[in-house]
Amino acid sequence: MKRLFIILLLFMTTPLLLGSSYNYSFYGDVIHSAPGMTFATYFNAQTLETPLGSPEYFVVYNNDIYMIDSERGLFVIDETFKLKSHHDSFELSEAYKEKTGQTEALTLKTPFGLDVKPQGIYLADSGNARIIRLNFDFKVEAVYSNPQDPTFESVAFFPIKITVEKTGRMYVISRQVYEGIVELSESGEFNRFTGVNPLRLTPLEIFRRSMMTEVQLAKLRRFLPTEYTSVSINENSFIYATSKPTDNNVSNTIQLINPKGVDVIKRNGYHGVQGEIHYIENMNNYVINGPSMLVDIDYTKGGIFSVLDQKRSRIFTYDSEGNLLYINGDEGQQSDKFKQAVAIGYHGDDLIVLDRGSKTFIVYRLTEFGTLVNQAVAFHDDGRFEEAHDIWIELLKKNANYEIAYNGIGKHLLREGKYKEAMANFKLGHDKYYYSKAFKEYRNNILRANFGYIFAGVIVVVAGSIGLVIYKKRKKGESLLYED
């Protein structure tokens, strides 16, 4: 009876399990995919045994989760998802007391962002327009406010997200600042703006604007670079950033900004690195329209990074080449789904999603498929193509729709010198660049092996055609050397 019940249950839940596991094929079709991650567990105000106000953001540091709540301050959660400590006002450290002469503890006002690095805990105290650096005893070490730049004469400094480089340089997103990410030195002085979203006008737009008067231009909707929504710096000081999509930067919403301030993300995948590929453009009351609204980004080993689409409650995971590895996440009210996600973070290999609406952390764990994908990508990143090759073959057994696996196989075969097999794999994986490389080697090998025959053939053809001319002229009785 029990077994029957289980079997029945399995049938009933099949459509649920199939869920939203999809991927995009080379031709842009939506195809089924094995899920890369599945729901593992969750924790929220009840399991933490503390009320939560409005959770905004979290980071993972040394397996501890530091979460900022815009109403209730800073929470620290340990790796077993139990509450470690909660702080809403911060004592001043001795050094800071001496330096400034202040004694009063600091409180937060609608903080939105934080970052934790070995130097300390950085809180973006948005309402008070300042950044607070705490040590790991939760004592205030420094306060940074009032960056000196003409921009902040017209717009108030309102830090919403912060990420800190290993040298202590701070990268801050300030609300309604369109110049880019604010870079502050380790002593809190304004350095520069970095990673500006480029704006491009179409020729038609430029022409239209040149015909307008000043008054008309003033009335026109302003063309502004988009605001960034999240930043996260990696150990090489490259900043992963997401921004809001607008009409002209949909393909630019995810960036990898190098220390020079240039976007260097690789877009070698089948489609752009932008979250959802297909979406409905127009206003529509029945489905969610428009491109993905990416609100957070986090990275893990092997150059893999994930972005969170708040609009459709989905997580897109890419590798360092820009290949879309897997998509997961689902919108809903159940405990394994989320509705108003605001932050994601890698906790070991697990991915944690923070839902502001239900004040819940949802933990996603890699499936067998996802683990293998991450492994293969990591091997590939290390240049260990042979190990990666074996895993890609294994992956194709688990998910025959997984086109990028063929490219992984092909790259190993190419290095082995098996050009023909490599070509077949690149053809299936639609990697034109490597197909061309393999084909070039294959063609040159054939040419080299048969060079004698080819050269002989050319000589025969040339000699034959000359002979034919001579023969024809002879037959007609004409002279060979000159025409008469």
Q: Which is nearer to other proteins, 29 or 382 (CB)?
A: 29
**Can you tell me which of 50, 89, 216, 436 binds other proteins, judged by CB under 8 A?**
436
Q: Which of 303, 183, 301, 168 is nearest to 231 (CA)?
A: 183
Does 435 bind other proteins (CB under 8 A)? Our answer is yes
Q: Check binding of 57 to other proteins (CB under 8 A).
A: no
Ranges within 400-429 binding other proteins (CB under 8 A): 427
Structure tokens at 445: 């090998």
| Shortest distance in whole angstroms from residue 47 CB to other proteins | 48
**Residues 439-468, mask of contacts with other proteins (x by CB under 8 A):** xx--x-------------------------
Residues 13-32 that bind other proteins (CB under 8 A): 27, 29
Of the two residues 279 and 439, which places its CB atom closer to other proteins in the complex? 439
Helix/strand/coil percentages in the chain, nearest 5: 30, 30, 40
Q: Which residue do the tokens 């086109």 mark?
A: 403
- Shortest distance, position 430 Cβ to other proteins, whole Å: 8
Number of residues that bind other proteins (CB under 8 A): 12
Radius of gyration for the alpha carbons in the chain, expressed in angstroms and rounded:
30
Half-sphere exposure of 179 (CA within 13 A, CB side): 15
* Binding track, positions 134-163, relative to other proteins; x by CB under 8 A: ------------------------------
User: Hey, which residues does 363 pair with through a beta bridge?
Assistant: 41, 352
Distance CA 404, CA 303 (A): 16
With contacts defined by CB under 8 A, name the span among 12-20, 398-406, 438-446, 457-465 that binds other proteins: 438-446
Cβ contact 99:109 at 8 Å:
no
Return the number of the residue (25 or 234) whose C-beta is nearest other proteins: 25
Which one of residues 207, 433, 455, 471 is an interface residue with other proteins (CB under 8 A)?
433
Q: Smaller CB distance to other proteins: residue 193 or 434?
A: 434
Helix (H, G, I), strand (E, B) or coil at 69: strand
Binding to other proteins (CB under 8 A) within 27-56 occurs at 27, 29
Burial class from Cβ neighbours inside 10 Å (0-12, 13-18, 19+) for residue 163 reads buried
- Extract the runs of DSSP E, i.e. beta strands, from 356-403: 360-366
DSSP letter string, 354-365: EETTTTEEEEEE
The yes or no reply on residue 266 touching other proteins (CB under 8 A) is: no
DSSP string, 459-484: HHHHHHHHHHHHHHHHHHT--SSS--
CB of 400 to other proteins, least distance (A): 16
Q: Which is nearer to other proteins, 114 or 324 (CB)?
A: 324
Evaluate whether 190 touches 149 at the Cβ level (below 8 Å): yes
The amino acid occupying position 410 is G
Closer residue to other proteins, CB minimum distance, 114 or 438 = 438
DSSP symbol at 92? B
Distance in Å, CB of 419 to other proteins, minimum: 12
Kindly list the residues in this chain that would bind other proteins in the complex (CB under 8 A): 27, 29, 427, 430, 432-433, 435-437, 439-440, 443
